[in-house]
A and B are shown apart, each in its own frame.
Chain A
């Protein structure tokens, strides 16, 4: 089955700086890669996703890039703000996998004011 590795496990950045979180996946057939944000005590919520036919996607201050050859994808957050502090999870799903997601282990992002 699919295996997703996520790095780093913790990340602290100064407010206003950029943050980058990286994930690698094992199944070259995987075709959907979402990123979820989980604030303390809350449910995970989708913040951005990318499909395998696209190399990059942006939504205001967040962007995701995908390198299918290397089987890795990254989340980029620019101009970080205190409300970006949370745990971020990447995930991957292969086609015909009953829409199942395999999650990474998460990155705890702390924005230092």
Chain B
């Protein structure tokens, strides 16, 4: 079991560029989440998904898009990158309703210059 994996580990983008952060879990979890963590701050929810084909906005969705075509994958798309999107991005997943424990991926450190 690899758990939750994310690629890439690090990325530097120029302002206005786009990219996709990949997230995959092999635990057959229904629920998946994307968070961003700014330096010295807590985790803010960007988007989440309760199953394949179903996504919804979290607390800070502006500038991002997601899709969930399979149970395993939950990519996060950044369009027109801005310096304010410099952050560490964590993907997480949890199992069936009532389980609650979230398993985090190792994170992607993104810098926009």
> B-contacting residues of A (Cβ < 8 Å)?
6, 32, 34, 42-46, 49, 89, 93, 98-106
Contact = CB atoms under 8 A, between A and B. Distances in A.
Interface in B21-42: 31, 33, 40-42
B43 A89 contact: yes
B41 A105 contact: yes
Given A34-B101, A44-B104, 9 more contacts: A6-B42, A34-B100, A43-B105, A43-B106, A43-B107, A89-B43, A98-B50, A99-B99, A103-B43
A43 B88 CA distance: 10
B107 A104 contact: no
Given A49-B100, A98-B48, A100-B48, A43 B90 contact: yes
B41 A106 contact: yes
A49 B31 contact: no
Nearest to B32: A99
Q: What are the 10 tightest A-B residue pairs by CB atom distance, in nearest-first order? A: A43-B104, A105-B42, A103-B43, A103-B42, A32-B100, A99-B31, A106-B42, A99-B94, A44-B104, A98-B50
Contacts of A34: 100-102
B109 to A, nearest CB: 9
B48 to A, nearest CB: 6
A99 B102 CA distance: 9
B42 A101 contact: no
Contacts of B40: 106
B43 A100 contact: no
Given A49-B101, A105-B41, A98 B56 contact: yes
A100 B105 contact: no
